[in-house]
Structure 1
């Protein structure tokens, strides 16, 4: 099949499955020398477990009291945990594009969700292939295309479905796999590990749909948190004083979260594409729980006002964390497979999410803002014999740094076009010069959540952001004194020198990373 016919074939599948897919050619890149993790050692395998919207507030290794995540915690305890891991654009598809390219959204071209990733640009997995690695991606990819650089693909079209989802394989075929998607992704990943070319080292992305909206739990996890009454976050009733963008969004649990689709109150099991994919065996426990228990409870309470908002919050967390239960359980199954197969001793295991997420902070769900809860994303990594167990990294790491670090781990040359830097020396406990600020730029407006586009920097103490679009204004936060970003200090007496310094540093970052749009906005008058 030639390139034109291949593209047309995949586009036809995408039209059917609402997951536009295209395939790629090949690209040549300039390279620079790499520093291998081990000298004269067998190259390590890498498994990158990549979830969706799973925030550090829901991971016990990060101090969460909401849920227990023993298998994610195990990776952290046996290796390193990053506490200030910053994303460059807090949204699903662009985060994955940054992983693959090591570049910001303005250079890799994937600024918004539901677009098509440019397959003619370089991706770091090509370099792994040149270095003898076998590469694979299983599960959620969410790029609207099939990038090159992979020997095996079996990915969800778009977001996929929690139950009985289709997958698109390397042959551009659509195959529906019965079962709960988290379990299916783990099985497909282990199947590939068993069937791969065992003469080569491998790189595998295990891309989970969990914990993305609309949070459909697996049957064993239904009602897992029913006996828990979660405390309201201190900022649940935030009045957004002094913060124009925070006040003018559309992502509150109270007003935006939907009873029927998100919280399954009298869900439409016949016509809704969210709920009409069940087999009878799958539907019975799900329907019994949500229709005969939760919906009846809701009807009986006759809630309104704050009581309704708080009930929705409780239901949201119970569903979100129940979905996370399956995610962590499946990570444990994968870790057990590595132990039993003997792969664990020379396999780097990483767990990360595409960005942070709000679990009721500021009254919100979703992500997008440069504020702490969505800006920072979990990242834990285990590499036996190289990363000391219990390592804690508090330096500012950006997700543009992921690709060069993965290349560095494998002794693979890092292309000069990659904008990030390898933080492997930090993982190994070495003292090296490191970044003092992390750059951020969010674009998607007005749909779906009416969050103004903005760019800015996060330093060890401050966040400075410039919002633009329908309105233009600045925000400044002292994240050490104000970790919830409640007090906008921009323009306040006593912060003139800090603001001037941060604006200079912001301009430096914009110029360094060649964000011409942001530079034009920065130099324009408000």
Structure 2
């Protein structure tokens, strides 16, 4: 398919998707409501005959790479409490985000839908609520008798403040103020004014409030609590107890760290021009060196691990640990010096890969490890499945729990990625792509002649760009067609006034 033809096909696809989206939006809440109405009454009527539904704890990391866990073999990090989730449950070694940016990724986690369908495309409209007819998985759980809470870094469309949380203690900010953090607090859908808390590490305070809320008497009602950490987001401030952590520790340099000195061999101009480079940015003063960023990043994750341990301790003390399903993932990964980059956004493996672990011994055998490709769109369906709640058909992911019973080579063979934000402080160009089990194709939107193509089996470090090479023309054309097909199949949300 020629580039002109591909562009024509994409335009037609966009129009088709808009129509599909209209029908989809009209039905989404109705579907969720119907599921709730059809199941709530029988559940209440026959509560004594049905097994008790588990409590749900959803830990969402901030920019936590998939390899930033000791259970994943990290040579420096020690994360025993993170590891416990995977060791006593299931760990998915090929988990990915579908838009490597905070706000859109968090909207996807809440809805089970791609950015293209939620309308939460980037970080630029953080104070505009998401369309009210797109249900959150927590709202579906509420209709099923759960109490729901979100705490920590919400950082998505309006912080989801307008939604009906039983408890809210959050901040709609990328990094907050680590020294004197700001939070809003509310109950039963009413959120109070922002308040500053002096001299407390934000994730410690988040965990304090999370434990206090879990301790409240709610009778026989199960709870679902979202504990979303802010560390280790830039500026990477440390908890005081970790001020000297990693002193004297050597930080290895990634193999591609000096590729800029070689002219970034094989990389297109859109990649080269991105300014998320360590040591050369005036807008990210905390990113002056590989050693500084890496050590602060790891220290932040140690603090996160300690707070996960505090939640484990509470659940054990109350005797409800095995009655509670725990899911851990992250909004996106993070570059730590690969190609001398920091941050995320780009569709390369350090930015794309995230941890994904689930512990619930009543349904998941301990020590399960799976290699099937799972996505952030699968988080909401998985949490609903853990609760025994039907997954509504508008959700675009699927529960990963069947993989806990047996491997499934057909679970997912390919998937779609899109990064939208432009302009942005790092000058990362918008792009979209497709990833299969073996190949990755990236196409840059502003210059359709630019792209990247990798054989991930032969080249897991993405160093040998095959894009535009004659011997790979058939493969490139095939992947381009599949990318268009995947994009077309995702309904597009178009906001009023956005055209």
Is the pair's TM-score, using the shorter chain for normalization, greater than 0.5? yes
Residue 58 of structure 1 aligns to a residue whose secondary structure is coil
1:280 aligned residue:
none
State the partner residue of 1:242.
266
| Residue 216 (structure 2) pairs with residue 204 (structure 1) | no
Which shifted more, 240-249 or 364-373?
240-249
Q: Secondary structure at the match of 1:167?
A: strand
- Residue 225 of structure 1 aligns to a residue in which SS? coil
Superimposed CA distance per residue, residues 16-41 of structure 1 (whole angstroms, 9 cap, x where no aligned partner): xxxxxxxxxxx8331587999xx942
Deviation at 1:196, TM superposition (A): 4.8
TM-score (norm: length of structure 1): 0.80
Alpha-carbon distance in 2 for matches of 1:229, 1:416: 49
Cα deviation, residue 489, structure 1: 0.5
CA contact (8 A) 2:58 2:227 kept: yes
1:38-49 to structure 2, matched below 5 A, reads 40-49=50-59
Instruction: Quote how far apart the aligned CAs of 1:373 are.
Output: 0.6
Rate the CA distance shift 1:206–1:257 in 2: closer, same or farther, 3 A. Answer: farther
* Unpaired segments ≥5 residues, structure 1: 1-26, 264-308, 518-526
Is residue 110 from structure 1 mapped to residue 120 from structure 2 by the alignment? Answer: yes
Q: Normalising to structure 2: TM-score of the pair? A: 0.84
CA contact (8 A) 2:54 2:386 kept: yes
2:458 counterpart (477, 481, 485): 481
Unaligned segments of structure 2, at least 5 residues: 1-27, 44-48, 495-499
Matches within 5 A, 1:363-402: 363-402=340-379
- Residue in structure 2 matched with residue 172 of structure 1 by the alignment: 191
1:375-418, CA deviations, whole angstroms, 9 ceiling, x for partnerless residues?
A: 11111111112111111121111111111111111111222211
Return closer, same or farther for 1:368/1:66 CA change in 2, 3 Å cut-off: same
Does residue 1:155 correspond to 2:170, yes or no?
yes
- In the other structure, the counterpart of 1:269 is none
CA contact (8 A) 2:266 2:465 kept: yes
**Worse-matched range after superposition: 331-340 or 432-441:** 432-441
String of CA shifts for 1:497-522, please: whole Å, max 9, x gaps: 322322232222112213599xxxxx
Bigger shift: residues 169-178 or 152-161:
169-178
Deviations 1:330-370 (A, max 9, x none): 11111111111111011111121110001111111100011
SS in 2 for 1:509: helix
Of stretches 508-517 and 150-159 in structure 1, the one that deviates more from structure 2 is 508-517
Which residue in 1 is equivalent to 2:92?
Answer: 82
- Is contact 2:67–2:355 with CA below 8 Å preserved after alignment? no
1:126 corresponds in structure 2 to 139
Residue 13 of structure 1: aligned partner: none
Show the counterpart of 1:292: none
Q: Is the 8 A contact 1:140 1:158 kept in 2?
A: yes
Given candidates 232, 239, 242, the residue that maps to 1:218 is: 239
C-alpha deviations, 1:420-464, integer Å up to 9, x for none?
Answer: 122210123254742210110001122111111111111100111
**Cα offset, 1:222, TM superposition:** 0.6
Residues 59 and 67 in structure 1, CA contact (< 8 A), matched pair in contact too: yes
Distance 1:108 1:516 in 2: 6
Match of 2:254 in 1: 233
Q: Structure 2: how far apart are the matches of 1:41 and 1:196?
A: 20
Aligned length: 441
Distance in 2 of aligned mates of 1:58 and 1:516: 34
